[in-house]
Structure 1
Amino acid sequence: MATDANRLGDYLKTRRTKLDPTSFGFSTRRRRTPGLRREEVAQRANISPTWYTWLEQGRGGNASADVLDRIARALMLTEVEREHLFLIGLGRPPEVHYRGGDGFTPRLQRLLDAMPYSPAIVRTATWEVIAWNRAAAVVLTDYGTLPPGQRNILRMIFLNPHVREIQFDWESVARGVVAAFRVDAARGGADREVAPLVEELCTKSPDFARMWRENDVQLRGDGVKRLRHPVLGTIALEYSSFAIDGRPDLGMVVYTPTTGADRDAIRSLVEPGPGIVGGMDWARSSTR
């Protein structure tokens, strides 16, 4: 049974005993217990066998993030197991490895599609939109008509005159976007990945350059977004942001109609009747 006094050691021991020595080229002769030996884990992690033994025994002191990362690789830990190792070993999660859109599953797409009248998107830590439902295409932007590199929310806000025009209080919206983007990029381990985008926007948009220099940070977990939609007119959407479990570099944003009338209006674009054909045309024009 794991004890509070040696949670790290207990966890390391249980993880190594679950591994098959033959998978790593180690002999199974003269083994009294299952799994890898301590010295074999230490060898794979390139650390001292004595110190690794002390870590399991609860007398090795605090291991660095680098050592824990090497042990995690040596023990073939999953992302969730690696996070748990850092939480009990250092009291904090590990640094996030930015993965972009890798690993997006059909299950997530089905979740988006299950909200037919609520525009919903999944974005990366660099604010690239990598998935959306039909409601998002007809109300926000038809992302499918854009090359992948142009599906970036910041590029749309600062470089697309039409997107700027349909926002209520564009200045406030843009400031909030920049401040939240800065937080998401840092949390998602994407500082290096966003550098070219930031340089591009600073060059092309004096407004972005000004707001970026202010170094503001802000969380945008929920709120109300108002749009001047060319087909629906003025529309208000409550937005909520959700973390995707196991993927701190991805986030889901769902926009919910605030009234039944707004919901019915969106439905008229998602499921157009014989006389309603403007939804997708508007969405395409909004990206040009």
Structure 2
Amino acid sequence: MRRGEALLSKLGDRLTGLRGRITPDAEMDKITWFRAGGAADALFQPADEEDLSAFLKAVPEDVPLTVVGIGSNLLVREGGIPGFVIRLSAKGFGQAEVISPTRIRAGAAAPDKRVAALALEAGIGGFHFYHGIPGGIGGALRMNAGANGVETRERVVEVRALDRNGELHILSNAAMGYSYRASTASSDLIFTSAIFEGAPEEHDVIKAAMDAVQHHRETVQPIREKTGGSTFKNPEGTSAWKEIDKAGCRGLMIGGAQMSPLHCNFMINTGNASGYDLEYLGETVRARVLEKSGIRLQWEIKRLGRFKPGHEVQEFLGQLL
């Protein structure tokens, strides 16, 4: 019996009555933008917040739960992901609406670009940076996504979330505990929606800012490749790409994985890279930057799951830290 079938058999009728979709042994390479990685034991796509709450209350706490977004900033290891992967559906969590002259409510599955477009339509400034982030609102809330000098924390008013027991929480901006590419909000919270605030702005000014973001992306980023976006966080006082370049890793390849020759903080799947290839390449880059500059690059891409036996990857390739 496969892992997913065994998991569903173990749970018996606990999941009866859920309206969302359950897929055992779900292939994660169909979800991630890297198009690589193993399978999740099971994938649950809740119909809406109420359905997600019912699921969380039904699943025992010893069953691992992992939340993923649209898969843009995600590396899944070849051994797959234990327990359930929760992926919020576009139908139930992808809405975005203007609720005041300066505020937008967006579901966690709404693409960042959709929020930027809605703000443009409504004449709300301050959201142009989302036009250049290839992710969803849930991920942006969790990692304080930012670009072009603006971060998510500058726009968040409050966040709606469910805890591991399916109970609802409303978090203020301060409660999110934002810092550079991070939040201290409890890792067991599943964000379902948020309210954001900008400022009144002329349509032409917003459009010009969005066009500048798009031009920058098309000029310096490999946006048409199978990539996960920025691979590493920028170290204090410098840029990740500068340190990667300095260490001689621009264009570096391992298997089917490559550090982009165009923007060397972008890792790409050139066609047949495995999760192992991608993570091993990343750790090779980290080791070389550490040796060259003494800087310990931190992953911005989220890595999930089990290593395939014999394909384990050590941080900094096992160097003493």
Q: Which has the higher strand share?
A: 2
Give TM-score scaled by structure 2 length. Answer: 0.22
Higher CA-based Rg: 1
Give TM-score scaled by structure 1 length. Answer: 0.24
